[in-house]
Every structure is written in structure tokens, then in C-alpha cells.
Homo-oligomer: A and B are copies of this chain.
Amino acid sequence: MLPELKITPLRYVLAVVDQGGFHAAARQMHRTQPALSMAIRELESRLGEALFERGSQATLTPFGRYCVPRFRELITQHDRLSRELTAQVERQAGHLDMAAVPSVASRLMPGLLADFVVRYPGIRVSLHDGNADFVREQVLAGEVDLGLTSLWEGNAALGFTPLMRDGLGVVCRDDHPLAGREEVHWEELMGESLIGNGTSRMLQDTDAAALREHYAFYISNMISLTAMLVAGLGVTTLPRLAFPEEYERLRFIPLSEPRVEREIGLLQLAGRSLSPGARAMADFVARALE
């Protein structure tokens, strides 16, 4: 049965050694002198050997001299751990993995991350991007702490916090008849050369579901899609956030009827709390997007 060494009495011993006396040590420790006397005596009896020479004042025994550096080492390790955990809790350190759909990753995250690293310089962030299914799977598998995506189907194991709405619109080239319009009704698209993409499932279960039958192409890759739009090969529907603003010739016209919106929000495992770093990010994102 090996004795349990409590940290505090070890600290007392070091204080006595460093300060050269029980009184001075007590002052340093914000304790009274008898408190140290008794705590150290208790420690000695637990070890079965005196640490301080009795009679002589605050002189270490040979065994005490043997112990002191070891006590110091253990206390150092304790303090290091305590400091490390505190840093985690206070978000001065830590890391988090997150996944986001491409539109969020490329349009929202750059600015968000820039602010985040200023606010939490110690927290390292890994951001993975992929489509909504990918994000969902990553969160579900615990591969990432957080997802930033729109949720297509609920799941008891997932917790979703909506943060912003993102309305669907038509994207076409600037010389297209629809280009100057304020808004578009879905039936106006029936005659167009329609290009389907990954976000087209937003039309599912809406009045405009019939559009999905009329795709001339289906392109999942965003680069390819924009290239085709720029080439004037057709029009497509995209949520506003996914609309590539950097292409001068493309225009975004909101869909007025039906008004289709996706809800972008934070996805996480339900019933599972977040690491301090992940919570910092979740709170930060939620606050930034209101």
C-alpha cells in the first residue's frame, strides 16, 4: 500500500526549504505556522521518515535532502498540467476540426477565421470542405467537432443550430434575357437550357420540383459549372452564397416563386458536448452570423 502524497504539504516543504523557516514559509503560503508544522509532520509520518531535523530549526535530514528535488519535480509537473488544462478551458490553447460546405468555406470562413485567430490566437483550426453529405458524415463519425452546412434530413444523433437563410436564385450570363430582372418566377425557366448542380435538390418538394426533370446537364463541379455558365451554355439555380461573385459576366436573380431557402447552421453531435476550442468557434460563428 503506497502512501498518497498530497500536493499541498509538498509545497509546504519546499516553501520551508526555500524560505529557510516555517514562519517565513507560512507567510508565503498564506497559512499560519502551525498549519505547516502539522501538515509536514503528517507527511513525515505517512512516509515513515523525518524530512526535517527535529530540534534543529528548518534543517533537512539526509532523507529530506533526497526528497526535496523529487517533490519539486512532481509539483512542477502538477503545475504544468494545471496550467495546460486551464489554458484549454480559457481558450488560450486547443484545437478544433470543422467541416463546411464549399460556399461557406470559401465565402464566409476566410473572414470569420481571420477574426477568430485574432480573438483566440492559441487555438488551432482545421477546416475541411465538402458537400453537405460529406459534412454530415464527418460530424456523425466524430471526424470533426463542428459542421457548417445546411441540413437536409434530421437525425437524432445530430444537433443543428440554424444561423442564416440563403435564398435560391437563377444564375445566368449578363447577356441573357433574365439578366436585368429583379426576380424570376420558376415557370419562366421551363424554356431555358437548365444546368443541374449539387444544390438543385433544394427544389425538391417545392412548387418548382418539376424543373428537375428538364435539366440539359448535371454538373457537380463548381469550376466546370461556372465555366459553362460563362460560355453561355445555359442557366442554373444556386443559393446566393454559392453564387461566384468573382465572375463579372454572371448575374444572380432571386427566385420569387417559389421562395426557396436553405438554412445554414452549425451541425454537431447531439448529446455530446464540444471541446473548449470547438465551443469557442461555435459561439464565435453564431455571434458573427447572429
- Residues of chain A at the chain B interface (Cβ within 8 Å): 2-8, 47-50, 53, 55-56, 59, 61-63, 66-67, 70, 73-74, 77-79, 81-86, 88-90, 145, 271-276, 278
Given contacts A4-B8, A53-B272, A89-B49, contact A74 B66 (CB under 8 A): no
Taking CB atoms, residues of chain B closer than 8 Å to A8 are 4
Assess whether B273 is in contact with A61, with CB atoms less than 8 Å apart. Answer: yes
Taking CB atoms, residues of chain B closer than 8 Å to A83 are 2
Copies of this chain per assembly? 2
User: Considering the chains assembled together, what is the distance between the CA atoms of A56 and B84 in angstroms?
Assistant: 27
Taking CB atoms, residues of chain B closer than 8 Å to A274 are 62
- Smallest Cβ-Cβ distance to A49: which chain B residue: B89
The interface centre, meaning the residue of A3, A5, A63 with most chain B CB atoms within 10 A of its CB, is A63
Taking CB atoms, residues of chain B closer than 8 Å to A81 are 5, 70, 73-74
Given contacts A49-B276, A62-B275, A271-B56, contact A3 B74 (CB under 8 A): no
User: Considering the chains assembled together, what is the distance between the CA atoms of A49 and B86 in angstroms?
Assistant: 9
Assess whether A70 is in contact with B50, with CB atoms less than 8 Å apart. Answer: no
Assess whether B62 is in contact with A273, with CB atoms less than 8 Å apart. Answer: yes
Assess whether A82 is in contact with B2, with CB atoms less than 8 Å apart. Answer: yes
Given contacts A7-B7, A53-B271, contact A85 B62 (CB under 8 A): no
User: Considering the chains assembled together, what is the distance between the CA atoms of A62 and B269 in angstroms?
Assistant: 11
Among B6, B59, B66, B85, point to the contact of A275 (Cβ < 8 A): B66
The interface centre, meaning the residue of A50, A73, A271 with most chain B CB atoms within 10 A of its CB, is A271
User: Considering the chains assembled together, what is the distance between the CA atoms of A82 and B77 in angstroms?
Assistant: 15
Assess whether A62 is in contact with B145, with CB atoms less than 8 Å apart. Answer: yes
Assess whether B62 is in contact with A278, with CB atoms less than 8 Å apart. Answer: yes
Assess whether A47 is in contact with B3, with CB atoms less than 8 Å apart. Answer: no
Given contacts A70-B84, A74-B77, A83-B2, contact A63 B275 (CB under 8 A): yes
Sample (10) of A-B pairs whose CB atoms are under 8 Å apart: A2-B83, A6-B7, A7-B7, A48-B89, A61-B273, A61-B275, A62-B273, A66-B88, A74-B77, A74-B81
Closest CB of chain B to A56's CB: distance in Å? Answer: 6
Taking CB atoms, residues of chain B closer than 8 Å to A88 are 49, 63, 66
Taking CB atoms, residues of chain B closer than 8 Å to A56 are 271
User: Considering the chains assembled together, what is the distance between the CA atoms of A73 and B272 in angstroms?
Assistant: 25
User: Considering the chains assembled together, what is the distance between the CA atoms of A56 and B67 in angstroms?
Assistant: 43
Among B7, B50, B145, point to the contact of A273 (Cβ < 8 A): B50
User: Considering the chains assembled together, what is the distance between the CA atoms of A86 and B4 in angstroms?
Assistant: 11
Given contacts A7-B6, A53-B273, A62-B275, contact A47 B78 (CB under 8 A): no
10 closest cross-chain pairs (CB), A and B: A62-B275, A2-B82, A61-B273, A49-B89, A48-B89, A74-B81, A2-B83, A70-B81, A77-B77, A2-B86
